[in-house]
Each structure stands twice: as C-alpha cells, then as structure tokens.
Structure 1
Amino acid sequence: MAETDAASDYPSIDPSTFDLIVLGTGLPESILAAAASSAGKSVLHLDPNPFYGSHFSSFLLHSFSSFLHSHHPTASEQPPPSTPIDAGEFSVADLKTRPLYSHIEISSYSETLDTSSRGFSIDLSGPRILFCADPVVDLMLKSGASHHLEFKSVDASFVYREGKIWPVPDSREGIFKDRSLGLTEKSQLMRFFKLARGHLGLAEEGGEERRVSEEDLESPFVEFLQKQRLPPKIKSMILYAIAMADYDQEDPVACKKQIKTKDGMESLALYHSSVGRFHNAPGAFIYPIYGQGELPQAFCRCAAVKGALYVLRMPVTSLLLDKEYGHYKGVRLASGQDLFSHQLVMDPSFIIPQSVSSPSLDMPHEGSYLTEVRNTPSPLMKVARAVCITRGSIQPDFSNLLVVYPPRSLLPEQVTSVRAVQLSSNVLVCPPDLFVIYLSTLCDNADQGKEALQAAMSSLLVLPRESSKHGTPEVNEDIKVETKPDLLWSALYVHDLTEVLSDTVCSCPMPDGNIDYRDLLKSTTMLFHKMYPQEQLFPEAVVSENTEDDKASID
C-alpha cells in the first residue's frame, strides 16, 4: 500500500517514447538536450533533484553543504554491480549512483554570518569564469541561451610570483600603464605580443605579419617563450594566467600535460579577442549574474522552447534492457512507469550497468561496450576545491578578480596551478560587504590538493589560528593591498574527474579543473555528433543581427 501511495506522488508522463531521455540537468546534459531539441528530436529531461544544474548548480549556503554531504561516501565499499532481473518483455537493471565528493571540511568562524541567508548563491564547481570570446559565449549567442543570462565583467587578473601579486596586462595601454613592469619588461612584452599578433594575422595596417615556423609551433610553448628571451615573470604570466597551463611546464617529469606552441598561440588569440569584445566588459573575462548555475538553466529554457519535456523530482530506478542482447531500451521511473527512447544521457552520478551492451554488435556481448570520446586525465586524477566567504576584498580597488598561482609559487612540491576567483555582491552571489572566493587545483590525492589550497588561502586571507608555516606574502605596493580580509566561512572538498563515455547509453563528465568551459564544450560537442552524426549543433539558430542587443546582456 505504501509503494502505491509513493508512486501516486509522481506525475504520469505522456507520451512514453522519445528520441532522447536525459537524466540530470548539468551543463553538458542541458546543452545536449537543447541541441537535440533544436535538431527536431523529441527529448525528455529528468532530474531527481528539485533544482536545475546538478553538479554545475549554484546553491544557497545551507543547501550547498547539504548537497555535498548527500554525495559523500557513507561506506568504504562501492555498491555491488546490479544483475538484470527478468521482468516480462525486458530485463531490468537497477540504476545505482556513486559518491562523488570526499574529504569535505566545512568551517564557520563567525557567529554573525547568517548561513541561512538567501543572499548567497554558491557555485559547486567554482572557480569558473568565461573568456569574452569563449566558444561557450558564441554558443549561447547562437542558441539563444544568452537571452536568459546577464553577465558582469571580471575587473582584473593577477599572477602570484615570489611572494608578490602582479597584475596581468590585458592590452597595449595596460602594459604602458602598469607600474609593476620595468621599461625593459614592457618592451619585451610588447615585442612578443607584436609577434603573436603578426602570426595570428592581426598585425596593424602596414605592420609585418611574421609567422611562427611549423617547427616552433610543434615545440613546447615554454621553449618557444625562452627563445624570445622573455624574463621569468613575463613568461609565468603568459603560461599560467593567459594560456592557463595546469602543470609545471618547466618540469618534464611532473608535467602531465605540456602545452605546445600552437596551443599557446591559440590561447593568446582567445585572450586578445576577448579583451574589449563587449563595450561594457573591458577585460578578458565575464561571470554570470546569480552564479554559474544559471548556464544550464538557460540551455534548459532553450530546449523547452523547442518542445523538450521537463520533469524535476523524478528519480529513475532502473534501465530496461533487451533480453537477448542486453541492448538499452528504456528507463523505469520511481513511479513504476516505463519510458522508452533511442538514446539515454546520464549525469556522472549514475553508474552505467555492466550488463548494457552495444546495439552495434550482432552477437551477445558480456559487459558494457562504451566508446571513450575524450582522453581525460588518469582516473586517479582529482580536483580539490575551496569556497571562502570573507569580509573585505583581496584588493580594495577591485570587486571581481582572478588570481593565478603558478606551480612552485606557493610550495616547493606544488606541481599544478592554483586558481582563485573573487566575486562580490555586484554579481548577486553574496550579501553586500561580503565576498566569495573560489579556489581549485588538480591533484593526485586529497592531501596534496588541500595543502596547496590552504597555502593559497593563507596568502590571501587572515585564517583563524593561522599557522606561520607559509609565512605572510610580500605585496606589490602598486596594487595597494593594505590588509588581508578575514575568513568568515570555508568549505574544502575533493572530487574525481570522470570520463565521457558514449553509446546508446552515454555518461557526461564531472566539472573539470579548468577555469573555463572550452574542454567541456569540446567533449559535449563530440558526444552530440557521436549520438547524431548527421545533425548540426543548433542548426536552426541564427546569431542576432543586432550585436548591441547581444552586448546588452553583458552588464
């Protein structure tokens, strides 16, 4: 009787057959749903949560803590693999979830901080910002998602080196005005940017368009920068604050991903194209008002306009499989209703049952048949993240800013970059006079990642019972840093990176360790074309002819 009552709490869904069913409303899943709907596919988008965004959501402060703990491992063993059950016409394989967040530490240091305030909107996958010329921005303009979003400019970016915080010039004027650069450094940086612009075909009229040789383009970017005789400070800015390198590019042993010169030049092109793209966002970066959780919601709205059906608070309990070969056929909801589709996309919380096999095979196949769409980091690679709430800005003259800590800048054993983004109440993520700071770094294990984050936090903030282990960083006087702000609340946590897998049952990735969404969009686009090789991404969408209307969304 109780099961019947529980089932009656869920609505019946009609129709019962779709081209695509999507489980979870994270950003990759939402882009796929919107793209499929735009291509004329019938789409059902489900989420067991009462909110949109899944692992790309923005939360109220108390809800943020609750979500982390709800996805924390409660047992040392993983759930056993499900065995399909014979249920009439189909076999039924239970759909299980896996814990994704671990080593959670949440601390409150202020009795006056109202953790129940609705003035907070905390990103789960921070820090994240977008280049103004980011492909995701172009996709939002193309798909119409930009009509549901507003952005603010990130005021400035900095790089941390030798105990000092240095501004990253974002234009020729910025280089000339930067008092932290000497005349020689300004000349060297201008000469390099002139070379980069010439290679990219952006030289000024009458200027020389020098092309970088193919040999240099295939060489490590760090070696190319050394050939240009750039000083260490300038080289560090280019590698880690513009090209956004994750690993120590000068240590071939520790570096798991070395940037080639051609990739570095592409990053320079993106950075250059981003500066001043929108008239009211003079810098290279923007951030969505109300938080990153607005992005998946915007794509969900686009999908709904094209006919996608949305049902929140709807758990899926199992997959329906063909009895003979184990091919995917549909899903069973918590209500007991069976729904069918040609394709299924799931967020990374779900474990694809091993009994699912590929319909491309003519013979039975034991185990899953899944195609890896993208080479991701090692399964053991993790992302350590931190969220801090402070009273006062890192830099009194700036509200929203980026700070990059290159490898080895904080600790001798630090082999990956640490990135920090500070946001203020002018992007509506916290109450007035407070600030939210996000930090993240790639790591092999939780201790390594959290040690790097705590060192970065110590360099920026006054920590309760702060250890003198890392010392107090020297501050560049030109940046006018007077005192470090007090830490009121913090959260540290770790999650694994997951692979993108595709077949008739597809698994989307967890948020990666990047500061932007370029890699995520690339893998999502590849997944869409794997599912629908004859379709284009948003074929019916046309970029607005009124560019001022588009720019108006960047407040």
Structure 2
Amino acid sequence: MDEEYDVIVLGTGLKECILSGLLSVDGLKVLHMDRNDYYGGESSSLNLTQLWKRFNGNDHPPEKLGSSREYNVDMIPKFMMANGTLVRVLIHTNVTKYLNFKAVNGSFVYNKGKIYKVPATDVEALKSTLMGLFEKRRTRKFFIYVQDFEENDPKSHEGLDLNTITARELITKYGLEDDTIDFIGHALALHIDDSYLDQPAMDFVKRMKLYAESLARFDAGSPYIYPMYGLGELPQAFARLSAVYGGTYMLNKPQCKVEFDANGKAFGVTSEGETAKCKKVVCDPSHLPHKVQKVGKVARAICIMSHPIPETNDSHSAQVILPQKQLGRKSDMYLFCCSYSHNVAPKGKYIAFVSTEAETDEPEVELKPGIELLGPVDEIFYEIYDRYVPTNNHETDNCFISASYDATTHFESTVKDVIAMYSKITGKALDLSVDLSAASAAAEE
C-alpha cells in the first residue's frame, strides 16, 4: 500500500473497471480497490440467494424457482449495440477474448397499447403494422435518406446541413406523423426524451445509422448483443485486462478514504491505517458524496417469469421501449428480458426488468404500465435508487467521478460517460478506430 500510483480507482462497477483497463493498457500504474469482496459494485450480477437476501432479508428462496447458482441477475440491466461504442472498447482492449456474447432476439416499441417490432430499414418500414400505407412510404423515404447519408459525402446530404438544421426540421421535410416520430426518436435513435428535436439533426441521424448498422451485423432481429452469464462478466473481464497490464487489485478494503492536501487536491487513499499515494483518483459517487449532487432517481422492478414477454414473438431476449408520450410521462419506460438462453436463469425461466426515471416514490404504481405487459410473474421485486452526477472540478481536486447509471436498457449513455472521463483523465481522445469484424467473432449466434 505504501507505493505511489498514477491512478487509484475506487469501486469495481462497470465504468470504473473499463477505465481501469483502458488506463492500464495506456501504461499507467493503477491500483484498484473495492470495499466489497466481489467485483461489479452497483453493476454486479446476483445469484438467486443473493437476490433474495438483498430484497427479502433472508437467503431462503423457494425451491420451485430452481437452483440459485443458475441465476445471474443484473443489478443494472443493459444490452450492447453490436456496432456501438462499448463493443469498440471491448475490441480495442481485446477484452473480447474473456467473454462470449449472444445476439438479442428482439427490439420492440409500445404504441397505443400494443407492442410492435421496431422497423429500422426501408424494407422493414413497408412491412411494419405500426403505420398506415401512406405513412409507410414517407417513412421508407426518410430511412433511405438516413441509410444513404455519409457525413463526408456532400452528395448524400440532399442540400441539408445537419449541423445547423434541427431534427424537427429534418423530420418535417418528410411529413412524418407524431407516432412515427415517437418510435424513431425513442426506439431507434434511443433518445431518452424529446429535447433532441430542437438540437442539430446530425447526432439524431448518426444514432439511427448506428441502430441500422448494428441490426445488420448479426441479422438477429435486434441490434443488441449481451454477454453469456450476464453483465457481471464485464467488470471482471476489464479487471483481468488491467491485471494483465500491471494493474493491482485489492478487494474487501473497508472505508477507503480519499486524502486531500491543504490545496484540496487528492493525493492518496487510506484503508486499514495504510495510505497509497497517487496523482489522480477515479471513483463512483458513493466514495465522494460531498462532490456530487442528486439529479433524479430510477424506479425498477425485477421479475422472475416462466414465459417470454407476450407479443414479442416468443423472444428469449428482448427490449421494449415505451416512449414517454405513450404513457403521459416525462421520460420513457424500458422493458428488458433475458433468459436461460443467455445462462442467466435455469431452463424455462426468464428474467424481466421494468425501469424508468422515477417521478414519484411509488414504483409499484409508476411501473404498472410496463408490468402489465409482462403477463403472470413468479416473483417481483421493486426498488428505487438515487442518481448522482459529479459537481467537482477535476482540474483543482484530481478527482474523476462517474455519473450514476440511468434507467435505459442500453449502454449508449453509460459509455459516453466513460469516454468523457477517459479524456479528462488522460488529456487525449480514445482511439476506437477498430475492425468491427472482430465483434462478429466474439458473438455467438
């Protein structure tokens, strides 16, 4: 402990483990500590006994649910875009060799009380039952524009500057109806609210292209992939990467206290009477509560079921997005389902999650529209957790704090936070220009 490090990372949540791996690969000397005796922090995966203890206070789940060891229940359930930034990070760091992925069966959207497959291409737009005949044609034209759009090819821009016109202005050009805009913005571009409509259209179009490209990668019915045995495998894989590059790990280290000098700069971390010195500290919000502020809370239900989500083509794994307008809410609601096909539950069992940015203190009431879409459930657990963002200036205190995980069931916002933190810590951009064909080799059909 009396050595000096470039960076000390506190907590083994997914964000912290990715950063630990990236910084170690860069040649920095990293010490990674956790107060727990397991990896994953808030983003760990629990077996049934651990899940029962967390929510029911005892470790005796009913035998009818099957073997505890066969459950790997994510505490922060999220799918990965097959062409997304997290996959690029996995390939950039070669972490893919520690993991096996499987394509997610379905991607759906809720509209007027029903669940529909998300159409993502011009061909799917014509087949979709989401829209009437004329709207299908308009949507097809818009999808063709997006598919053909290349930022560096002015001919594909059709005279539009997507850096100056808003997403709303672009959509208006194609005369799309409100319900169509709803599913495109929330289930395809994965915006979490409607504020994107009044921002430059470039990001909106890039997000749609990412969805379509990810969908094409495995031709599996969704653009998402998910690791076998659950997301708890990801922090461990990045921890292994860090260790390979010389990172030091210490679990079960209680009361990790960040030490500050007279100028308010962090210079080390003390645990069990020993202080390890460092130039920079990376941590989750729980380690420096006086340097973060609460910005919201997430309401979530975890459900164990014996069937897939109805109306999802019997998908063993699926995401359903319920856009805010469809529910009369300020934010979207998300359904996430995986099953024994991803080795996260015993044969015949499914794990479903319903999550949203909480607007009340009653998750049972708030999550009801999503719960009702699940059909009968064997067991259900509710919780609300607070969401924090850092308020400190890292240039004056040497502290780099991650934001809490949001309610989304995809990794796009999570990875943006990691990339931004990496740039602040190192002063450089992360080069993710990698060959994505390696992702195909990492994913099992």
| TM-score between both structures, scaled by the size of structure 1 | 0.71
Separation (CA, whole Å) in 2 of partners of 1:231 and 1:318: 54
Hey, what does 2:239 align to over in structure 1?
A: 300
Separation (CA, whole Å) in 1 of partners of 2:254 and 2:129: 57
Given residue 403 of structure 2, which amino acid in structure 1 is its aligned partner?
P
Residues 358-395 of structure 1 deviation map (CA, whole Å, 9 limit, x = unaligned): xxxxxxxxxxxx7x9xxxxx834222122111111123
Taking only aligned residues, the RMSD between alpha carbons, in angstroms, comes to: 3.1
- 158, 182, 198: which is aligned to 2:148? 198
Hey, what does 1:266 align to over in structure 2?
A: 206
Hey, what does 1:244 align to over in structure 2?
A: 190
Quickly say closer, same or farther: Cα 1:68–1:20, change in 2 above 3 A. Answer: farther
Residues 197-243 of structure 1 deviation map (CA, whole Å, 9 limit, x = unaligned): 2333699xxxx7243623x6545434532441223432222011102
Quickly say closer, same or farther: Cα 1:188–1:339, change in 2 above 3 A. Answer: same
Hey, what does 1:365 align to over in structure 2?
A: none
Hey, what does 2:415 align to over in structure 1?
A: 521
| Contact 2:81–2:411, Cα closer than 8 Å, also in 1 | no
Hey, what does 1:230 align to over in structure 2?
A: 176
- 264, 270, 285: which is aligned to 2:224? 285
Local SS of the residue matching 2:239: helix
Q: CA deviation at 1:282?
A: 5.7
- 47, 60, 74: which is aligned to 2:34? 47
Matched, 1:347 2:241: no
Residues 86-126 of structure 1 deviation map (CA, whole Å, 9 limit, x = unaligned): xxxxxxxxxxxxxxxxxxxx9x9x95543761111111112
Quickly say closer, same or farther: Cα 1:125–1:267, change in 2 above 3 A. Answer: same
- 117, 123, 129: which is aligned to 2:68? 117
| Contact 2:131–2:180, Cα closer than 8 Å, also in 1 | no
Quickly say closer, same or farther: Cα 1:226–1:460, change in 2 above 3 A. Answer: farther
Quickly say closer, same or farther: Cα 1:328–1:273, change in 2 above 3 A. Answer: same
Matched, 1:27 2:14: yes
Hey, what does 1:401 align to over in structure 2?
A: 318
Separation (CA, whole Å) in 1 of partners of 2:301 and 2:171: 32
Separation (CA, whole Å) in 2 of partners of 1:331 and 1:225: 52
Given residue 277 of structure 2, which amino acid in structure 1 is its aligned partner?
F
Quickly say closer, same or farther: Cα 1:288–1:498, change in 2 above 3 A. Answer: same
Quickly say closer, same or farther: Cα 1:299–1:421, change in 2 above 3 A. Answer: same
Q: CA deviation at 1:521?
A: 2.3
Local SS of the residue matching 2:191: coil
Show the 5 A alignment for 1:524-535: 524-533=418-427
- 128, 134, 149: which is aligned to 2:99? 149
Show the 5 A alignment for 1:363-442: 379-394=294-309, 395-410=312-327, 412=328, 414-442=329-357
Quickly say closer, same or farther: Cα 1:42–1:325, change in 2 above 3 A. Answer: same
Given residue 241 of structure 1, which amino acid in structure 2 is its aligned partner?
A
Q: CA deviation at 1:180?
A: 5.5
Hey, what does 2:382 align to over in structure 1?
A: 492
Hey, what does 1:312 align to over in structure 2?
A: 251
Q: CA deviation at 1:69?
A: 8.6
| Contact 2:122–2:141, Cα closer than 8 Å, also in 1 | no
**Percent of paired sites with the same residue:** 27
Matched, 1:170 2:109: no
Q: CA deviation at 1:326?
A: 4.5
Hey, what does 1:551 align to over in structure 2?
A: 440
Separation (CA, whole Å) in 1 of partners of 2:233 and 2:56: 23
Residues 423-457 of structure 1 deviation map (CA, whole Å, 9 limit, x = unaligned): 1211111111111111211134433x653312211
Given residue 407 of structure 1, which amino acid in structure 2 is its aligned partner?
Q
| Contact 1:121–1:430, Cα closer than 8 Å, also in 2 | yes
Separation (CA, whole Å) in 2 of partners of 1:308 and 1:499: 27
Local SS of the residue matching 2:70: coil
Residues 42-68 of structure 1 deviation map (CA, whole Å, 9 limit, x = unaligned): 111111112111111111133235456
| Contact 2:6–2:279, Cα closer than 8 Å, also in 1 | yes
Residues 318-376 of structure 1 deviation map (CA, whole Å, 9 limit, x = unaligned): 33343x44533222212x222211111222222356xxxxxxxxxxxxxxxx7x9xxxx
Separation (CA, whole Å) in 1 of partners of 2:438 and 2:3: 40
Matched, 1:331 2:331: no
Separation (CA, whole Å) in 2 of partners of 1:269 and 1:32: 27
Quickly say closer, same or farther: Cα 1:210–1:554, change in 2 above 3 A. Answer: same
Hey, what does 2:133 align to over in structure 1?
A: 183
Separation (CA, whole Å) in 1 of partners of 2:110 and 2:294: 30
Given residue 225 of structure 2, which amino acid in structure 1 is its aligned partner?
I
Given residue 490 of structure 1, which amino acid in structure 2 is its aligned partner?
I
Local SS of the residue matching 1:266: helix
Q: CA deviation at 1:523?
A: 2.4
Separation (CA, whole Å) in 1 of partners of 2:251 and 2:98: 20
| Contact 1:45–1:311, Cα closer than 8 Å, also in 2 | yes
Separation (CA, whole Å) in 2 of partners of 1:542 and 1:233: 36
Q: CA deviation at 1:258?
A: 5.6
Which shows bigger deviation, 418-427 or 389-398? 389-398
Separation (CA, whole Å) in 2 of partners of 1:257 and 1:235: 10
Given residue 267 of structure 1, which amino acid in structure 2 is its aligned partner?
R
| Contact 2:103–2:222, Cα closer than 8 Å, also in 1 | yes
Local SS of the residue matching 1:511: coil
Given residue 36 of structure 1, which amino acid in structure 2 is its aligned partner?
L
Separation (CA, whole Å) in 2 of partners of 1:459 and 1:184: 29
| Contact 1:217–1:262, Cα closer than 8 Å, also in 2 | yes
| Contact 1:131–1:286, Cα closer than 8 Å, also in 2 | yes
| Contact 2:188–2:211, Cα closer than 8 Å, also in 1 | yes
Hey, what does 1:17 align to over in structure 2?
A: 4
Quickly say closer, same or farther: Cα 1:288–1:211, change in 2 above 3 A. Answer: farther
| Contact 2:9–2:281, Cα closer than 8 Å, also in 1 | yes
Which shows bigger deviation, 509-518 or 30-39? 509-518
Which shows bigger deviation, 153-162 or 134-143? 153-162
Local SS of the residue matching 1:440: strand
Separation (CA, whole Å) in 2 of partners of 1:337 and 1:352: 22
Q: CA deviation at 1:283?
A: 3.1
| Contact 1:200–1:269, Cα closer than 8 Å, also in 2 | no
- 369, 380, 385: which is aligned to 1:455? 369
